[in-house]
Structure 1
Amino acid sequence: MDLTSMTYQSPIRPQAAQISTTKPRKGWLNAKSWAAALGVGAMALGIWGYTNRPVTDIPAYRGEIGGFAFSPFHRGESPQTGDYPSTAEIKSDLTLAARYTHNIRTYTVEGDLGQIPALAEGMHLNVTLGGWLDRHPDANAAELKKLVAVANANPDVKQIMVGNETILRGDLPVNELISDIDTVKAETHVPVSTAEPWHVWLKYPQLAAHVDFITVHLLPYWEGVPENIAVQDAMNRLQEVHQAYPDKRIVIGEIGWPSDGIDIGAARASTVNQARFMRDFFNLAQQRHLQYFVMEAFDQPWKTSFEGRAAGYWGMFNLDRQQKWSLTGPVENNPGWIFYALGSVIFSLLATMALLSRRPDVRFAGKLIFAGLVEGFTTILGLLFMNMSETYLSLGAATVWGALAAGQALLLFLLIADSFDLVETIYGRVSKRHYEPMPAPAGAKLPKVSIHLPICNEPPEMVKLTLDALAAQDYDRFEVLVIDNNTMDPAVWEPVAEHCARLGPKFRFFTLGKYKGYKAGALNFGLRETAADAEIIGVIDSDYLVEPDWLRSMVPAFDNPAVGFTQSPQDYRDNDGGLFKRMMFWEYAGFFHAGMVTRNERNAIIQHGTMTLVRKQALVNENGWAEWCITEDSQLGLRLFRAGYEAVYSKKSFGKGVMPDDYTAFRKQRFRWAYGAMRIVRANADALFNPFNKELTLGQRWHFITGWLPWFGDALGIVFLTMGLAWSVGLVIDPVRFQFPIALFMLPSIGLFFFKIVQILALYKNRVPCGFADRLGAAAAGLALSHAIGKAVWKGLFSDKLPFLRTPKMKDAPALVQGLVMAREELVILAATWGLALAVGFGHHWATLETKLWVAVMFVQSMPYLASVGVSILASLPAPAPKTVVVAQPVASPAQMGAMHPAAGD
C-alpha cells in the first residue's frame, strides 16, 4: 500500500497555498516528531514505574502462620458443579500448606475432601474438620454421618465444625443447628463448634451454650472498614465476643482481606492491602497468642458467582499456587506491570509516528498533544489487559470481558483518529490542496454546464426563487433542467413549469409523475436529457439561491483532466429563525469549515447532492447515479475516487438554502445520511477494507473509515445503553450476582464523552467563525442526533429497504407539546436511564467508587437523549418571522444577459 498517499499533492492549479516558509523533514525522519513521541513515552514509563513502585513500609512477619482455611479446588473445579479435587491435587496442596502452618480448617467431607485428614498423615497438620449444612435435610444427614466417621477414623482431626455461616445464610433455624451440634458431640471425642460472624454469636447466646468453643469470623472488608484500621476493628469485634462469653475459648475461624474486588465503603481490595492487613494481623496474633485460620490458603474463583468478585481473591496463594506476596520484604500490586507498560508505550510510539510521519508540518505543540493523547489512550488499554491477566475468568466472563476489551480497542482507534484530526486541523502548517476560486476572465473559453434541479412536492414560490438565482448566473453556456417526480398534484408543479417557460429555452421542465428511483431516478432522467454538447453536470437542491459567480469560479477547475467533481459548502440563509435554527446552522458549518477542509488534503471529501459539479463523461462512465442508494451523491463521489478521479473543494460558499423547520425533519435528514452511508460501506467494503485493493489511496480509506466511525460509535452506544439499563436492574434487585464492571471499563466511556466535547469546541474555535455559545449549541445539536444515527446505522448494515425520507421545508414550527412528542422515544429512554441510575446510587448508598462511576456512566450515556429532548423543545418555540429573500436581478453585462436571454449563449 502506498503510504505516501496520506500526503498526496494534487496537480490542481497553482492557487494552492503554501502556508509554511520552511519545509519539514518528511516521514519517519522528522526529529521533532521523534522528540515528542519519545519524550511522552519516557514520561509515561516514569508514571507507570512511580504508580507501581514496591511498597516497603509494611512490617515483616517471621513467624509461623496460625492456620489456613483450606479449600483445595483448582482451576475449573467447583462444588457447585460437582467437580472436586483429585487426591493428588489435595496432597500437593497439603504439602504446600504444611510449609507455612501446622493447622488447617476444612468445610466439607464431600467427594475426596473427606480424605484430607488421611492424606495429611505424617505432615504434622492438625485438622479442624468441617461439615457443610444447607437447606437439604437428606444431604445434611449424609454429610454429618460422613463427618463423624472421618473424624473418628483420623487422629489428626483435632476439632470439628458443624456448618459454616449456616445461621447467617438462613439455611437452618438455630434450634436445628443446635440439634445437629449436639448429635455430633455425642458421637465424637473432640471439641465441636460451628462458625458464624461475630454479630451472629452476639445475637444467639443459646448457640454459644451448645458449642465447646466459639468459632468467629472477622472479615472487616465486607463491612466497608478501611484497611488502615481494619485489624483494630477486627480485634474490637473479637473483644465484644470475649466479653459476651468470657468462659469460652474463641477461635478466629476466618480472618483476611481480598487482593481484588470492588470497593465496599472505604474498604479497598488490592494485593498491597491484603499483605498489609495480614502481616499486621500475624504480628498482633503472635503477640496475643490468638488461635486463627487465615481466610484462606488458595484463591477460590468459583465463589464469585454467589458472593461477588472479591470472594475469589482471599487466598495467600493464587489459583496457580503462587504466593501473592512474601511475609517479608516489599510488596507490589502488579509485579508484571513492566511488560504492559512497555507494550503500551511501544504501541503508542508506533501509532504516533505512523500518523505524524504523514504530517511532519504539524507544529511541535500539536505533536506533543497528539503523542500525549495517544499515550493516555493506550495506557488505559494496557491497564485493562493487565487487569484481565490477573482476573479469574470463566468462559462466559471471558467472552463478556473479551467483547468489552474489543470495544475498548475500537474506542482507542476512534480516539486516536479524532486526536490526529484535531491536531492536524489546528496545528498543521501546510495546505497542499487548497483551492481558491477565482472567476474566469472575460472571454475565457468555458465548457457548457447542464444544471439539474430535482424537485418533489416543493413549494412553487421557493423553487421560483431558486430558478431566478440560476438565471442570474454570470456564465454564457449553461442550461437548467427541472425534473419533477412523484408530485401528484398539478397545482404544485404547474407554476414551476410556467416559470421555466418565462425564463426562456435554457430552462426546461419535466414532470415524471410516479417515478422510481427517487432523487437518483430523477437525476438519471436528467442525465439522459442533457444537451449533447454539455461537459459538466451541476446539481443543486430546490431551495438553493446560488451566487452569480458560481459556475464562472468553479468550472475552471475542470481544466485539469483528473478532476471528476467539484464541491462547495452547503450553506443556509434562514439563520434568523430562532435558537434552534442557529444551533443547526453552526452544527452544519463545522463539517464544511473543518471536516471537509481536512479531508480535501487527502482527496477524500464527501460529495453531497447540492452545489456540486460533475464531469459528465465521468458520470456516464460510472453508469449515472445509484438509484439503490438513498445518499446517491456520496456514493457517486466514492465511485469517482475509486475510478481515479480527483475532487476539488472550495471553502467559499456559492449558494444558500433553507434548513429543516423542526426537530423531526432535522433528525430524519441525519437518519437518511447515516443509513445511506452504511449502505455505501457495504457496497464498497472491498475498496475500503481490502489491503490488496488499490482503487483508493490510504488517505482516502483513512478518512472514509474514520469519518463514519463515530456513527458506528452511536450505534454501539445504543447497545451499551441497553446493556447498561439491563445491568442496572440487576444491580438493584440482585447486587451480589450483578456486580459493577471494573473502573477501567467505565472510565473510557466517560473520558470519550468529555474528549469529544473538548474536540468539538477546539475545532470550532480554530476553524468555524462563531462564538463560544454557538459552539456549545452546535455540540448540543449534534449530540441530539446520536440516537437517530445509531438506529440508522443498524438498519443500514442489515436492511436494504427503507423509504426515502425527504426533509420537509418551510413548515410552521410545532407547539411545545409537539416538541416533546417529536422526542418521545428519547424522552422515555432518558427517564428510564436517570431513574435506574438513581436507583443504583441510592440502592448502593453511594458507598463505593464503582457505584459513583456507574451512575456517572449512565448519566453520560443519557446526554444524547437529554440533548434530543432539549433541542426538540427549542425547535417547538415560536421563531421570528423569516426575512424576505430578495434575489438580485441581472445587470446588463453580456454574461448576465446570456443568463437572462438563453438564446444568446446557446
Structure 2
Amino acid sequence: MTTFIKRYYAALLFALAIALAHFGVWAIANRAQALIDAPLIVNGFAYSGFQVNQSPFEKQFPSTAELARDLHILYPLSHRIRTYSSLENSEVVALASNIGFKVTAGAWLGADSLANQREIEALKAKIANYPHIERAIVGNEVLLRNDMPVEQLITYLDQVREEKKVPVSTAEPWHVWLKNPELVKHVDYIAVHLLPYHEGVPIDQAVNYSLDRYQELMDTYPRKKIVITEIGWPSRGPAIGAAVASRVNQAQFVREFLAKTAYKNYDYYLMEAFDQPWKVKLEGWAGPYWGMFDANRQPKYSLHGAVPKDTRWIKKVTWATAIAFLPILFIAIRFRHWGIGGRISMAILLQACITTLVVAWNLPGDYYYTFRDIIILIALIIGMMMTSAVLMIYGVEFSEVMFKGNWRRAYKRAVALPSNQELFVSVHLACYNEPPAMVIATIESLSQLDYKNFEVIVVDNNTKDEALWKPVEAYVDSLPANFRFFHLPKWPGFKAGALNFALKETDPRAEVIGVVDADYVVTQDWLGALVPHFSDTKVAVVQAPQAHRDWENNFFRRMSNWEFEGFFKIGMHHRHERNALIQHGTMTLVRHQSLKDVGGWSEWCICEDTELGLRLLERGYELRYIDETFGRGLTPSNFDALKSQRFRWAFGAMQILKHHLPKLLGDSTLSFGQRYHFLTGWFGWMGDALQLFFTLGSIGWTVAMLLFPKAFSLPVAIMLTPVLCFLVLKGALGPVLYRKTMNCSWTDIFGASLASLGLSHAIARGIMMGIIQKRGVFKPTAKGKSTSSKLVILNPIREEVALLLGLIASALAMLLTRGFNNIDAQLWVTMLTLQSLPYISTLACQIIAQLPDSKKQ
C-alpha cells in the first residue's frame, strides 16, 4: 500500500480533490434555509390514520394501537383533530376523547346513496355518545367533485342538523361557497378549504392569498362563523403554475401561516397530520405528501430553526462519492499522459453520471413508491445506465482529442521505394448499376498512378442494363493488359462477393490488395506513398481517409462532406491510438496473404470492410491509418441516399458485434483498447436507438398523463436529467471537437451537426434491425446529383415527420393542460423539444437536399 501511494500519490490527490469538490457542491446545494419561526402549537390537524402500506381501497385499516400512537404523537402539538369518515377507523373518536382531544367529526359522502346514509347514521350516533365532538362536517368537497347536486347535499345537512347537538357544516373550497350562497343557509358555520398550491400561487404569496380568500368569505357572509378545515402545502408533487411542492416550501407555508395567525381569532385545521400514500389514487401525485409527519410518523420539518432541502443528502453524496472514487482514480492513473483538462472533464462526467444513478436509486426513500412505480423506476434506471455509458464513451473521445496533445501513433506517408523494389499491388474495383462516366473517371485515375508494379481488376456484378456496364468494359479494353474487366450477370454476396471473385482472378505476384469505390478519383502517389508500410510484416492494413470532391457549391453536399470528415479527423485518430481502426472499404490496402489467411471478404455481412479489419486484429495484425487524402469520391446524391448508407453501416455494425462478441468478451489476442473500441465504438449509435425508445415512451407517457392524470404524473426531474444531458452533450461535443480539429467555418460545423442529428432515426432503425435480423441487403449509395421530384419530398422521411408531429402535439397539449407557468411541465416540454431536434434536422436536411447548386464565384 505504501509503495502504491508513493507511486500514484498524484493520482490519489486528484481523486481526493474531485471527491472533496463533489461533497462541497452538495453541501452548498443543500444548505439549510432560514425561515420564520412559528409557535409550537397548532390549532388543529386534519387526521387520517392510514399507515404507510394501508389503503381504504384495499380494505387495509390501521389497528387501534396504531391510531392511539398517532394521537399521542399529535397531542403535544394540538388538542383538536378533524376526521373525514364515521365508518372507517371508527374508534378514532373514542380514542381521541379518552386522550383529551376535541373532535370535528366527519361523514364521508359520495355518489352511493346507501353508503351515504350509513355514514350519516354513524355520525349521528357518535354525536349522541361522545361529548368531545364539538362540530360535525357532512361531506368533504362533494360539490367540487360533482358527486351530487347541491339540493341533495342540503338534504343530508338538514338531516344531521335536526339533532341540534353540535354545529354542522360541509367542507368545500372557498370558491364553491361563493358560487353556492343557498348552501350557506343550511349550515351552522362555513367549513372552508384554503389550498393555494392547487391554484398555482407561488409560495411567497400563498399565505397572504389564503388569508385574502378567508377575508373575502367573511365579507360575503358576515354572519357566519368560518372554520378553515384544510390549509397547508405539500412537500412533494408536480408544480402547478408557479406553485412548487417541496419540503422547504411546505415548512415555509406552515410556519408563516402559524406565525400570522398565532394571536388572532382563526379557527383552522392544518392539512394534514400524517402523509397518506394511498391518496395518490384519489388526488394524484401530490396527494400523499401533505402531512407535517411522513407516513412513517417522522417529522418532516421543525417549527424552529433552518430547514434542510434534503435530510438524506449526506447519505446520497457519500454513496455517490464512494462509488466514483476508484473509477476516478483509475482515470487519473490510466490517462496520466493526457492533459489535466482531459482528466478533469472525464472525472466530472463520471461523477455526474454516478451521482444521477445514486439519486435515482434513492427515490423510493424520498417518495412513496408502489410496486408499479418500482418496476418503472428499475426500467428507467437501466435506461439511465445505458445513457450514462454512452455519455462516458463520448466523454472519453472528447477528453482525449481535446486535451491529449500529440498522438503517439501518428503515422505519415512512407518514403517511396525504387521501382525495382515495389511490391506488386492488385487494385480491385467493384461496381453495380453505376453511371459509366463516373466509373471510367475512377479507372482513368488509376491508369495514371505513379507506380509501376500493379494491376486493376474491375468487377461489375448483377448490372442488367448493358448501357451501364458495356461502356466501362470498352474503356478497360482500351487500356494496357494490367487492366481487366469482368461482368458477372448473376453473382451472390453483393460487394463482398465481387471482391472475392476478384481475389480469385488476382495475379499470384500480388502482395497487397487495394480497394477503391467506383466513384473515387485517386492521386498519382497513392500506392507509392502507402505501400512501403507493408515492409513491416506486422502490418495487414494501411488505410487512408475517405474524402469528397465537387461539394463546395452545394450546401447539402457540404453538410455531407463535413459530417463524414468528422469521423476521419476525430474518431479514426482516437481509435488508431490503440490499433483499433474501423476499416472502411475504399482507399484501403490489405496484405494479400493476410486476407487469404482469414478467409477473404465476409459475404454474410453488409459491412464486409469493417468486419475484415476486426478479423485481422483478432489475428494480432497491425492496422495503420495515414491521415492524408489520396483520393476523393462523390457525396451521396440526396438525403435518402445518405440515410440508406448510414442505415447500412448501423445494421452491419450490429451484425459484426453479434458475430464477434465471444472474442470481444472472451479468449482472444485483442488488447483491452481494441476490445473497448469495438464494444463501445457503436454505443453512440446505440444511443440513437435508445433515444428513439425514449421518444416513443415520452409521447406515450404524455398521452397517458392527459387521459389518466391521477394514474400517470410528470416524472421526477432526476429521471429526465440523463436524457436532457445526453441530448445537450451530443449536440455540443461535436461542434467543439470540429472547431478543435478541423479548418472549417461555423456554418460548415452547423451543417455537419444538422446532418448528424438528421441521421439519428436512420441509425436507430439500422441498430434495431441489425439486432433483430441476421442478414441484410446491401444497397449501394447513390452518388452524384439528385433528380427527385419535389412532389415526393416527404416520402423518404415519413417516419421522422410523424414522430416530429407527435412530439409537437405532446408539447402543446402539456402546456395547454398544465399551464405555461408550470415548472414541471416546462421541464417536460423542454425534453420533448430536445427530442424533436433530430426530426427537425431530418426535415431540414431533406429540404436543403432539394436546393440547387450555388453559382461559382
Please tell me the TM-score bracket, short chain as reference: over 0.9
2:691 paired with 1:713 = no
The one of 37, 53, 56 aligned to 1:59: 37
Q: Deviations over 1:126-171 (max 9, x none)?
A: 3322221111222222332333334434444333221100011110
Cα contact 1:813–1:879 (8 A) shared by 2 = no
The 1-side partners of 2:435 and 2:255 are apart by 83
The 2-side partners of 1:58 and 1:359 are apart by 51
Q: Which residue of 1 aligns with 2:678?
A: 704
2:713 paired with 1:739 = yes
The one of 790, 809, 813 aligned to 1:835: 809
Q: TM-score, normalised on structure 1?
A: 0.89
The 2-side partners of 1:42 and 1:180 are apart by 64
Cα contact 1:629–1:680 (8 A) shared by 2 = yes
2:602 paired with 1:626 = yes
- SS of aligned partner of 2:303: coil
Following superposition, the deviation at residue 121 of structure 1 comes to 4.9
Following superposition, the deviation at residue 219 of structure 1 comes to 1.0
Letter of the aligned partner of 2:83 in structure 1?
T
The one of 19, 23, 36 aligned to 1:45: 23
The one of 330, 338, 361 aligned to 2:306: 330
Q: Which moved more, 1:821-830 or 1:323-332?
A: 821-830
The 2-side partners of 1:809 and 1:882 are apart by 21
The 2-side partners of 1:456 and 1:104 are apart by 85
Cα contact 1:33–1:367 (8 A) shared by 2 = no
- SS of aligned partner of 1:169: coil
- C-alpha change, 1:26 and 1:815, in structure 2 (3 Å) is farther
Letter of the aligned partner of 1:329 in structure 2?
G
The one of 207, 221, 227 aligned to 1:231: 207
The 1-side partners of 2:485 and 2:57 are apart by 78
2:627 paired with 1:651 = yes
- SS of aligned partner of 2:762: helix
The 1-side partners of 2:362 and 2:822 are apart by 22
The 1-side partners of 2:258 and 2:44 are apart by 11
The 2-side partners of 1:128 and 1:57 are apart by 31
The one of 823, 833, 840 aligned to 1:866: 840
Letter of the aligned partner of 2:620 in structure 1?
G
Letter of the aligned partner of 1:780 in structure 2?
L
The 1-side partners of 2:671 and 2:6 are apart by 19
Letter of the aligned partner of 1:822 in structure 2?
P
- C-alpha change, 1:881 and 1:847, in structure 2 (3 Å) is closer
- C-alpha change, 1:877 and 1:313, in structure 2 (3 Å) is same
Following superposition, the deviation at residue 306 of structure 1 comes to 4.0
Following superposition, the deviation at residue 313 of structure 1 comes to 0.6
- C-alpha change, 1:611 and 1:329, in structure 2 (3 Å) is same
2:49 paired with 1:72 = yes
Letter of the aligned partner of 2:275 in structure 1?
D
- SS of aligned partner of 1:309: coil
Cα contact 2:419–2:453 (8 A) shared by 1 = no
2:595 paired with 1:587 = no
2:541 paired with 1:551 = no
Q: Which residue of 1 aligns with 2:819?
A: 845
Q: Which residue of 2 aligns with 1:786?
A: 760
The one of 145, 148, 158 aligned to 2:121: 145
Cα contact 1:361–1:429 (8 A) shared by 2 = no
The one of 435, 439, 444 aligned to 1:463: 439
- SS of aligned partner of 1:161: strand
The 2-side partners of 1:682 and 1:143 are apart by 66
- SS of aligned partner of 2:511: strand
Following superposition, the deviation at residue 335 of structure 1 comes to 1.3
Q: Which residue of 1 aligns with 2:63?
A: 86
Q: Deviations over 1:281-328 (max 9, x none)?
A: 223333114322211111112222342222111011112111111232
Q: Deviations over 1:235-281 (max 9, x none)?
A: 22222222333333322111111111222222221111211221222
- C-alpha change, 1:172 and 1:273, in structure 2 (3 Å) is same
Following superposition, the deviation at residue 56 of structure 1 comes to 3.2
Q: Which moved more, 1:591-600 or 1:364-373?
A: 364-373
Root-mean-square deviation (CA, aligned residues, Å) is: 2.6
Identity of aligned residues (%): 40
Cα contact 1:102–1:124 (8 A) shared by 2 = yes
Cα contact 1:192–1:211 (8 A) shared by 2 = yes
Q: Deviations over 1:578-623 (max 9, x none)?
A: 1111111111001001110111001111111111122233322322
The 1-side partners of 2:532 and 2:856 are apart by 36
The one of 278, 285, 293 aligned to 1:309: 285
Q: Which residue of 2 aligns with 1:97?
A: 74
Q: Which residue of 2 aligns with 1:770?
A: 744
Cα contact 2:110–2:142 (8 A) shared by 1 = yes
Letter of the aligned partner of 1:174 in structure 2?
V
Following superposition, the deviation at residue 868 of structure 1 comes to 1.0
Q: Which residue of 2 aligns with 1:269?
A: 245
The 1-side partners of 2:422 and 2:15 are apart by 50
Letter of the aligned partner of 2:81 in structure 1?
I
2:799 paired with 1:825 = yes
Q: Deviations over 1:836-895 (max 9, x none)?
A: 322322333311222222222112111111111111111111225999xxxxxxxxxxxx
The 2-side partners of 1:99 and 1:698 are apart by 65
2:244 paired with 1:255 = no
The 2-side partners of 1:37 and 1:412 are apart by 20
Letter of the aligned partner of 1:90 in structure 2?
L
Letter of the aligned partner of 1:115 in structure 2?
E
The 2-side partners of 1:159 and 1:191 are apart by 5
Unaligned 5+ runs, structure 1: 1-24, 884-906
Q: Deviations over 1:187-219 (max 9, x none)?
A: 573332211111212222222222222211111
Q: Which has the higher contact order (CA 8 A, sep 6+)?
A: 1
- C-alpha change, 1:166 and 1:42, in structure 2 (3 Å) is same
The 1-side partners of 2:554 and 2:544 are apart by 26
- SS of aligned partner of 1:493: helix
1:209-248 alignment to 2 at 5 Å? 209-248=185-224
- C-alpha change, 1:356 and 1:619, in structure 2 (3 Å) is farther
Letter of the aligned partner of 2:128 in structure 1?
N
Cα contact 1:36–1:367 (8 A) shared by 2 = no
Q: Which residue of 1 aligns with 2:770?
A: 796
- SS of aligned partner of 1:728: helix
The one of 700, 706, 711 aligned to 1:726: 700
- SS of aligned partner of 1:788: helix
Following superposition, the deviation at residue 738 of structure 1 comes to 3.9
The 2-side partners of 1:845 and 1:46 are apart by 36
Q: Which residue of 2 aligns with 1:560?
A: 536
1:499-648 alignment to 2 at 5 Å? 499-648=475-624
Q: Which residue of 2 aligns with 1:413?
A: 389
The 2-side partners of 1:188 and 1:636 are apart by 94
Letter of the aligned partner of 1:761 in structure 2?
P
- C-alpha change, 1:575 and 1:37, in structure 2 (3 Å) is farther
The 2-side partners of 1:28 and 1:741 are apart by 47
Cα contact 1:66–1:102 (8 A) shared by 2 = yes
Unaligned 5+ runs, structure 2: none
- C-alpha change, 1:341 and 1:633, in structure 2 (3 Å) is same
Q: Deviations over 1:778-823 (max 9, x none)?
A: 1111111011111111111112243222211234443444434433
- SS of aligned partner of 1:629: coil
Cα contact 2:15–2:332 (8 A) shared by 1 = no
Q: Which residue of 2 aligns with 1:876?
A: 850
The 2-side partners of 1:624 and 1:130 are apart by 84
- C-alpha change, 1:642 and 1:149, in structure 2 (3 Å) is farther
- SS of aligned partner of 2:623: strand
Letter of the aligned partner of 2:661 in structure 1?
A
Q: Which residue of 1 aligns with 2:156?
A: 180
- C-alpha change, 1:470 and 1:882, in structure 2 (3 Å) is farther
Q: Deviations over 1:690-748 (max 9, x none)?
A: 3x544432212222233211111111221211222233334455555443223223344
Cα contact 1:813–1:877 (8 A) shared by 2 = no
